[in-house]
Structure 1
């Protein structure tokens, strides 16, 4: 077991840490804990979209459709990525927008949280708040999303961290370790 990096050994990032990955991998829950460890504010991208739209994600999808949700998401991602450093939990599809990917490359260190699809499917079944899964078998829908999104996540991410069914604290430690290695290699923290 590797030693836990001390908070003093981890530099305070000067760039946003953008967490990318499929819905249900833990971007929001892990992101909050990561932000606390790094001494940065945390922003959940979906919450920021809901605040800007004054509607829930489900309401946006139902009333305006996915294209309008994606357009709003791109505007919110631009604002957040061009702002001061934060830990940002992006929506699972945010990186499908080429402009958002460019902004991430320019302003953020992107971390792909990757998990076994069976674990993710079990997690997302707990809540019926995900419009892209409504009325579908979660595992089948997630596999279809992974087929499209994994190559984009891989191309976008500076760091990839496999997160499993373990404790969120383990995921935070794995991310910190991967970021530390990335920054030690000469990348800007």
Structure 2
């Protein structure tokens, strides 16, 4: 790294402005418990858009894992990749995910590759309700083709890269998911309604409501 390179915050650095998300005041949580909801899926699956609207409907705080990571590091994700490579990025991602998954009553949109680390899959399954937002390769490409903030798609064949990544990650998304929802071309409003309906009737939610709210930690 030369002197002109941006400096990343030390690993484990906690930005005061983002250390503890502020939970919404008042209102009733429609799920009837404090467990966080985690959204997993490929880049372009709609995790951020769905997550924001889902959090609003549930009267919860929305947290985007990528944005939280950038806030703590002080630079954008492509810069982290440039300086530390994917391995360094994944290490930082694990640290931020570990912290965020401890926060009750949030809707957390994870990064597309967060499920690659076994420890991340363990934490997601143990600490909250996991929703897999699924989309096909054509739809994912349509949504991401003009996004320049995707280091993994900076290849001569981004659609082929998406296809490869989906093949690699699909089993991992399904492994951690309590619910799988197809995004397709459904409107955000309808999609969020479907997610809420499935959350309220999922076996894991029903168990939590009938047996209380045990600690979210493994």
TM exceeding 0.5: yes
Matching residue of 2:63: 43
Matching residue of 1:169: 189
Q: How many residues align?
A: 183
Deviations 1:151-172 (A, max 9, x none): 0000110110011122211221
Matching residue of 1:64: 84
Matching residue of 1:186: 206
Q: Report if aligned partners of 2:200, 2:206 keep a CA contact under 8 Å in 1.
A: no
Asked which structure has the greater CA Rg, the reply is 2
**1:68 and 1:159 mapped to 2: Cα distance?**
30
Q: Report if aligned partners of 1:13, 1:38 keep a CA contact under 8 Å in 2.
A: no
3-state SS in 2 of match to 1:82: coil
CA shift at 1:53, angstroms? 0.8
Q: Quick check: which one's helix share is greater?
A: 1
CA shift at 1:42, angstroms? 0.3
CA shift at 1:74, angstroms? 0.2
More relative contact order, 1 or 2 (CA 8 Å, 6+ apart): 1
Matching residue of 2:215: none
- Superposed, 1:89-100 pairs within 5 Å as 89-100=109-120
- Superposed, 1:143-162 pairs within 5 Å as 143-162=163-182
CA shift at 1:94, angstroms? 0.5
Deviations 1:93-147 (A, max 9, x none): 0011111111111111000000121011000012111000012323211110111
Matching residue of 1:141: 161
TM-score, reference length from structure 2: 0.79
Matching residue of 1:3: none
CA shift at 1:8, angstroms? 7.3
**1:40 and 1:157 mapped to 2: Cα distance?**
20
TM-score, reference length from structure 1: 0.91
What runs of 5+ residues in structure 1 fail to find an aligned partner?
1-6
Distance 1:53 1:28, change over 3 A: same
Distance 1:51 1:171, change over 3 A: same
**2:172 and 2:69 mapped to 1: Cα distance?**
22
The ranges of structure 1 where at least 4 consecutive aligned residues each deviate by more than 4 angstroms after the TM superposition are none
1:118 and 2:138 aligned: yes
Q: Which moved more, 1:178-187 or 1:119-128?
A: 178-187
Deviations 1:33-59 (A, max 9, x none): 000000110000000000111110010
State the superposition RMSD in angstroms.
1.8
Distance 1:105 1:185, change over 3 A: closer
What runs of 5+ residues in structure 2 fail to find an aligned partner?
1-26, 210-218
3-state SS in 1 of match to 2:122: helix
**2:71 and 2:85 mapped to 1: Cα distance?**
17
3-state SS in 2 of match to 1:187: helix
